[in-house]
A and B are shown apart, each in its own frame.
Chain A
Amino acid sequence: MNNEKMINDLKEIITPYTENKEALNSITEQTDFLVDLKINSANLVDIILDIEEKFNIEIDNDSMAKMLNVKATIAIIQEKLAANAG
């Protein structure tokens, strides 16, 4: 799956939890969930659960630790998808 498609899928997932909706229009790999999108930290777990359902992957505690921005989150999803395929 290419990165652009992945960012769009991710955008769909994080939209309901985003306080700063305007920042969603300019989302890039560098976008930080808490700092830029003002997502409540208690909703990060919702995002992680939604990602697990959408991509049919399991995200462990160590992977979850890094999922603070778009880039790191996409890297984790790619890694888990690759592990599932292999």
Chain B
Amino acid sequence: MEKESRHTAVVTIRNLYKKFGDNAVLNGFDMDLYDGENLVIMGKSGSGKSVMIKCLIGLEEHDSGSIQVMGKDIDDLDADELDELRTEIGFLFQGSALYDSMSVRENLEFPLRRHTKKFGKITDAEPLVMEALQSVGLTKAIDLMPDELSGGMKRRIALARTLILKPKIILYDEPTTGLDPITSKEIVQLMQSVQEEYKTSSIIITHDVDCARAIANRMILLIDGKNYAEGSFETLQKSTDPKIQAFFK
């Protein structure tokens, strides 16, 4: 019922299978991400969460199944079309993945230089860089190098680099992993404010129950490569199923 009241699905995954050798990571995974929602996906390490979002953005090839992003089947796209679609999808990597040979400014300018189709030829990237840095509250870090930043700052700058392309969908791969509880809370608040400001739809891969509680509109529990349970945080938390309860202990 909740699904029907929402807007259209911006991401639809059906029957997704992915194997690495004999290890079947995804076993018929299904998922819909609706416009404007925060979908949290929880699962044990190695349950295929990260592989799933990498398949979604074309970093990993899936064995079978279909992935539709904003109405486009990613299997039908050529390299240029996939690159164009990627400008609509932001990806926050677990380790931030900032280019360590570039300053914060250059890290943020880098995607802009490559996407003249979306933004036209940019002669002065400074306003866009400053806007993205303002969104994450780190304008002072503009000329620092990545190795001069703390873990939390790196995560914020990585989010700013994601936001600079003004994506419609953001994929967060364990956004609070490796951070202290206070910084984790700040990152979660930042994710909420980003959603309000940029009206994005998000898929958040996490183990962090506090993060899920704060941000999830809906959750999927991934066990053995498929959806084991789906619902709101409160519904799943109240479940008496021991496999579901294990995530909330």
Q: Do A and B bind each other?
A: no
